Amino acid sequence: EAGVAQSPRYKIIEKRQSVAFWCNPISGHATLYWYQQILGQGPKLLIQFQNNGVVDDSQLPKDRFSAERLKGVDSTLKIQPAKLEDSAVYLCASSALTYTGELFFGEGSRLTVL
Amino acid sequence: GEDVEQSLFLSVREGDSSVINCTYTDSSSTYLYWYKQEPGAGLQLLTYIFSNMDMKQDQRLTVLLNKKDKHLSLRIADTQTGDSAIYFCAESIYGGFKTIFGAGTRLFVKA
């Protein structure tokens, strides 16, 4: 079974530029999550999709971050314009509607904002 | 509010047992998890425990849950250098709909 795929793995941009990250979840997983992991901290949920609908985006800085999940499969997370404090690893995870709620994570996209 | 706290570092010698501790705040947590993150990789579920259990054993791993004190621990027996990683405690809340992670404990295993 293929895991969660993310790209790009690494991205370096200057502040005020824009960046987009892509995620392909495990086939059949209805729920998709974007987490932000700042160095030395645990993952913080940015947005959660159930199929192609948003169920929680309370922690998403909507003035600069946007995300979509077209057709309930792939998802894109965009940052525009980027700030220095956006430097982090952006983790995508997916889960099936199982009893245990296990999350399956991709390897992450590391963003450095200069 | 929802919060998960854990110590940041733990150093042990190869062959010793490691114990990583965690406290959480939401008494309605359904499941509690331990995830492992190796360098440059995403998080991977190591083990989990349902909130009505107080212990779970899985090979070298033992999870203890004290629901009264909202305390969770992970014991790794016979720790190996390959166990060096960051271990995240997490709780599911809102009936399993949302997962909250701690900051992670970095385990160093000395040969």
Q: In this predicted model, what pLDDT tens digit does every residue of B41-73 receive, in sequence order?
A: 889 999 999 888 899 999 999 999 999 999 999
Q: What is the mean pLDDT of chain B?
A: 91
Check CB contact of A91 with chain B, cutoff 8 Å: yes
Q: What is the mean pLDDT of chain A?
A: 93
Q: Is B14 exposed, middle or buried (0-12, 13-18, 19+ CB in 10 A)?
A: middle
pLDDT given for residue B1 in this prediction? 56
Residue B18 in contact with residue B105, Cβ under 8 Å?
Answer: no
Supply φ then ψ for residue A86, to 5 degrees.
-85, -5
pLDDT given for residue A70 in this prediction? 82
Sheet hosting strand A65-68, strand order edge to edge: A5-7, A19-24, A75-79, A65-68
Structure tokens, B110? 């000395």
Residue A23's CB is within 10 A of a number of other CB atoms, namely 25
Instruction: Choose, out of A41, A45, A105, A109, the residue to mutate when testing the contact with B (most B CBs < 10 Å).
Output: A105
Residue A74 DSSP label: -
Structure tokens, B12? 């042990």
Pick from A101, A102, A107: CB nearest B42: A107
Residue A101 in contact with residue A31, Cβ under 8 Å?
Answer: no
Report the alpha-carbon distance of residue B53 to residue B98 in Å, rounded: 20
Check CB contact of A20 with chain B, cutoff 8 Å: no
Distances (CA, A) of A32 to A6, A56, A94, A106, B81: 12, 11, 4, 11, 33
Q: Do B104 and A42 touch (CB under 8 A)?
A: yes
Per-residue pLDDT at A26 exceeds 80: yes
Pick from B31, B92, B98: CB nearest A56: B98
CA of A94 vs chain B CAs: smallest distance (Å): 12
In A, minimum Cα distance to B49 occurs at: A100
> What ranges in A2-111 are assigned the alpha helix state H?
none
Q: Closest Cα partner for B78 from B22, B20, B13, B33?
A: B13
Q: What is the mean pLDDT of residues A56-64?
A: 94
> Using one digit for the tens of pLDDT, what is the confidence trace for B62-101?
999 999 999 999 999 999 999 999 999 999 887 667 889 9
pLDDT interval class at A40 (50, 70, 90): confident
> Using one digit for the tens of pLDDT, what is the confidence trace for B9-47?
999 999 999 999 999 987 777 889 999 999 888 899 999
Residues 31 to 60 of A: which have CB under 8 A from any B CB? 35, 40-45, 48, 55-56
